[in-house]
Amino acid sequence: MSRRGFLHRSACGFGGLALAGLVGDRAFAGTSAGVALRQAPKARNVIFCFMDGGPSHVDTFDPKPLLKHHEGKAIGERAVTKRSQSNATRVWMGSPWEFKQRGRSGLWVSELFPHLAGVADKLCVVRSMVGELPLHGQQNLLLHTGRILGQAPSIGAWMSYGLGSENRNLPGYVVLNNDWVPNGGLENFGSSFLPASHQATMIRAKGVPVDNMRSTDAPSLQRRKLALLAGQDHRFAGEVSDPDPIEAAIANYETAFRMQTTVPEIADISREPESIRKLYGVDSPDPHQQFYATQALRARRLVESGVRFVEITCPSFDGNNSPWDQHGLLKKNHEKNARITDQSVAALITDLDQRGLLDETIVLWAGEMGRTPHTPKITDTAGRDHHVNGYSLFMAGGGFRGGMAFGETDDFGNAVLSDPVTIHDIHATLLHQMGIDHEKLTFRHGGRDQRLTDVHGQVIRDLLA
């Protein structure tokens, strides 16, 4: 009998609980030969600010003055692409916002983001992103799992699996949800074939952060209940061909038990100095901005406490569409989304920097797609449609170069002109900065070694300091 088997079967499961406690805060990734995955990491944590719906690249970080010059003119057959909602009769539409060069670097940032403009020298903008399908669900799954069909672990689950959590009282992957599940569903945050202990733990912006977080039982009684469950589960695990899911469930019970004291304390931002809460915009009269600011401040507290990967979702202010999905009313609703998120994301970067945490924390700002630089007709209520033939995202901190723009789209922002980048490349680069070789972080499933980047991806070293 193996040592693991002995511990599982001895002392009514208490041995298994001891084992779970010993290994619960370790990374499980690695080859059978025990080859280490860490390669001198530059960063320890990731905060992903997910801009669900697709912010317009030509209105945020990729200025195209020719759009305004040619506004109202038909785009023609040469500009039609299957990677956007397009036909030859659509017309070019200029940006309603002015762009200016910001900071010492002179990075171009739209007036849509006055607060992010203030931290322009920290931003590493990629202007040459290329997606696969101009559909929210498929692009969301691609962004999160590396596959347009999903059925694979989220990048947060891979990070948790590969590196574990630095705090055994907290999970390795947390999603700070704003009462909105993106297209593609909860699979965006799942662990799929990885152990269930690596899926996201959800923390709400409104009301009680996590269900059942405060127990009605005394800790000693809870511990006895856990021991009883563990004993039953371990006996059952010994009777099935694949005990891993059962062991993962036991690990989840243990993590949940330890979270009862830690999560309420982290979620409570009332003890933060008033200056910090004001910096993030917690005092905003807009409730959507209050919620987003609260989650952004919690994100800093979570990485400060050792959570490996934190994602912040956007609130949907009308409840009917993906937040940044402006097929109409572009000016009104992009400005609304910017007011909700701009101050808090800039504050997060500033706060991390002031605390000496930005060097070891990657802040990723990304939507699943961009918006078309054209529209069916120029009107006061015109919008932009789905576009994955060239769009923008940015990283800050974690060893990424600040104050730079990488890649280029054409004069109209309609297609990538140089240095195309895929989501697989972004994933590979993020893992690299976390000290992981994306080709070695694997899990045996379906008869082959699966990985986040599948058979794709390369580290974009030009983005790195």
Let me know: does 173 contact 160? Beta carbons within 8 Å. yes
pLDDT at 253: 61
Per-residue pLDDT, 254: 65
Quote the tokens at residue 206.
Answer: 């409104």
* 123 strand-pairing partners: 396
Strand partners, 421: 129
At position 139, the amino acid (one-letter code) is: Q
Quick one: which H or E segment has residue 349?
Answer: helix 330-354
- Residue pair 408/93 in contact (Cβ under 8 Å)? The answer is no
In the chain, the amino acid numbered 9 is R
Residue 259 has a pLDDT of: 63
Distances from the Cα of 16 to the Cα of 128, 255, 267, 282, 358, angstroms: 49, 14, 31, 44, 38
Residue ranges of domains in the chain, CATH in brackets: 44-222+271-463 (3.40.720.10)
Q: Which of 295, 305, 326 is nearest to 52 (CA)?
A: 326
Residue 21's pLDDT is: 44
Phi and psi of 165, rounded to 5°? -105, 150
* Conformation bin of residue 201: beta by default, left when phi > 0, alpha when psi is -120 to 50: beta
- Interval 90-146: pLDDT, tens: 999 999 999 999 999 999 999 999 999 999 999 999 999 999 999 999 999 999 999
The b-or-e profile of 210-246 (16+ CB within 10 A means b, else e) is beebeeeeeeeebeeebbeebbebbeebeeeeebeeb
132, 148 Cβ separation under 8 angstroms: yes
Question: Which pair of structure tokens corresponds to residue 372?
Answer: 């078309």
- For residue 424, which of 157, 113, 132 has the smallest C-alpha distance? 132
- Helix/strand/coil for 310: strand
Model-level pTM? 0.87
- For 230-270, the pLDDT digits (tens) are 777 777 777 776 776 767 666 666 666 666 668 889 999 99
Other CB atoms within 10 A of residue 465 CB? 11
Q: Which of 121, 90, 95 is closest to 108 using CA atoms? A: 121
What pLDDT does 217 receive? 67
* Phi then psi dihedrals of residue 128, to 5 deg: -120, 40
Q: What is the DSSP string of 146-174?
A: SSTT--S--HHHHHHHHH--S-TTS-SEE
pLDDT at 35: 41
Pairing relation of β-strands 123-129 and 391-396? antiparallel
- DSSP string for residues in 30-66: --TT----B-S-S-SEEEEEE-TT---GGGTT---HH
SS3 266: helix
DSSP string for residues in 203-261: EESSSSSSTT-S-SS-HHHHHHHHHHHHHHHHHHHTTSS--HHHHHHHHHHHHHHHHHH
Q: Show the low-confidence residues of the chain (pLDDT under 50).
A: 1-4, 7-8, 11-26, 30-36
